[in-house]
Amino acid sequence: MTYQGPKVKLSRRFGVALTPKAAKIMEKRTLPPGQHGRVRSSKDESDFKKQLIQKQLLRAQYNILEAQMRRYYQLALQSRENRAERLIQLLESRLDALVLRAGFAPTIYAARQYVTHRHFTVNGKAVDIPSYMVQPGDVVAVRAKSRKLTIFCEWSPKGVPAYLEITPQEACFVLARQPQAIEIPIICELSRVIEFYSR
């Protein structure tokens, strides 16, 4: 099961807003949660802790389990490409991640829910698996029955990454190509993530 706890608390722990609500609250409460939030310092953190935090932060931004993260890392190892680049490409190819990037959902948590409720199709077939790996050229669209829902009627894509081709009138998008790490809007030190799994 993915993280089900308070998203604001998780956001404050990492110092990164994972939801719009967290962003508003963190404007006033910038410190980490807990009674020791004021006295915590990153100056005396070990390399292992820094690596662990970055790995957990990346997991949180994609809302995935540790077992899934390790599987993606193992797949990245099998590639001849840069490990960090390939790892982030695999994560970004997930259906729920692309639904988020296309602007259909406000958070990764909402994107996961929309996918599991069968609101999306890939190449014309309904898919309810958030971890479904979308390939370049695949067409992801809102199901015809779901287009009347308010959440999709009000869809207005903004800030869509260059690796997605949007067709607003048909409520669909295409993964044009594999994204580059620099294009993916995440906050994380990928090098530390790779260091963590390379131990």
Q: Where are the domains of the chain?
A: 7-90+186-197, 94-177
Whole-prediction pTM = 0.87
Span 80-116, pLDDT tens digits: 889 999 999 999 999 999 999 999 999 999 999 999 9
Q: How does DSSP assign 69-97, residue by residue? A: HHHHHHHHHTSSS-HHHHHHHHHHTBHHH
- Whether the per-residue pLDDT at 1 is higher than 70: the answer is no
The owner of tokens 């190819």 is 93
| 133-144 mean pLDDT | 97
Distance of CA 184 to the CA centre of its chain: 10
Angle CA(111)–CA(82)–CA(183) in degrees, nearest 5?
45
Tell me the residue length of the chain. 199
| pLDDT single digits (tens) 35-71 | 555 555 556 688 999 999 999 999 999 999 999 999 9
- The pLDDT, as a whole number, for residue 12 is 81
Q: Is 121 helix (H, G, I), strand (E, B) or coil?
A: strand
Q: What is the mean pLDDT of residues 126-132?
A: 97
Of 180, 99, 85, 158, nearest to 132 by C-alpha is 99
Q: Class assignment of domain 94-177?
A: alpha beta
Task: Take residue 121 and report the two structure tokens written for it.
Answer: 């199709």
Domain spanning 7-90+186-197: which superfamily? Answer: Ribosomal protein S4/S9, N-terminal domain (1.10.1050.10)
| pLDDT score, position 70 | 96
